[in-house]
Chain A
Amino acid sequence: GAVVSQHPSWVICKSGTSVKIECRSLDFQATTMFWYRQFPKQSLMLMATSNEGSKATYEQGVEKDKFLINHASLTLSTLTVTSAHPEDSSFYICSVPGSATYNEQFFGPGTRLTVL
């Protein structure tokens, strides 16, 4: 399966600052990547679909101006949390589909964001 990395693994920032999280597909070219969010004791929820060469598509209730996604290349997608607030504190995980039919997804190790 695809090997996926994320950077940083954890970050602490002050309220009002912006944080960038990187997701890399190390051994697979991905035209699509997915960003999920997991709050404590909750299920993972899809935030947005990152598309190489075009705009990301966001799930209902996710603010596209707050969560900026850039799919810079076939191996890199970035998620920027702008003007972060304490309620944005969460575990952010990206995934890469293992085939063109999105039959199986492979997840990164996640990024723990804490906003003070």
Chain B
Amino acid sequence: KQEVTQIPAALSVPEGENLVLNCSFTDSAIYNLQWFRQDPGKGLTSLLLIQSSQREQTSGRLNASLDKSSGRSTLYIAASQPGDSATYLCAAPVRGSQGNLIFGKGTKLSVKP
């Protein structure tokens, strides 16, 4: 059974810092892993999708890596800004399912100006 864990649960940093969010999963036979952003009371915004054949994906100041063998993914945010404040979720698919994503509980990020 796939389980997804995110550490830390909350993170507060001053503006401009680079930071890393961690995601671990128990079933390494995944075909992709997806990172989302969720603002309070809002839906999810897809940030990055990493295919199992890839080791990382980049979008602007965001870089996500995937290491299937160790069951880990990281989301790196460069030069953080107050607008980056949100909860960041990672999700891995259930083996053999058509779209069932298992989510971590998220990391709540606060970037102080």
Interface residues of chain A, those whose CB is within 8 Å of chain B, are 1, 4, 6, 32, 34, 41-46, 49, 59, 91, 93, 95, 97, 102-110, 112
Are A105 and B99 in contact (CB-based, < 8 A)? yes
Contact of A107 among B4, B36, B49, B100 (CB under 8 A): B36
Interface residues of chain B, those whose CB is within 8 Å of chain A, are 4, 31-32, 34, 36, 41-46, 49, 51, 89, 91, 93, 98-106
List the A side residues contacting B4 at CB < 8 Å.
43
For the complex of A and B, the 7 pairs showing the least CB-CB separation, nearest first, are A107-B44, A109-B43, A43-B103, A110-B43, A102-B99, A44-B103, A104-B49
List the A side residues contacting B93 at CB < 8 Å.
102
17 contacts between A and B (CB under 8 A): A1-B46, A34-B99, A42-B105, A46-B100, A91-B41, A93-B43, A97-B99, A102-B99, A103-B31, A103-B51, A104-B32, A104-B46, A105-B101, A107-B36, A107-B44, A109-B43, A112-B41
List the B side residues contacting A107 at CB < 8 Å.
36, 43-46
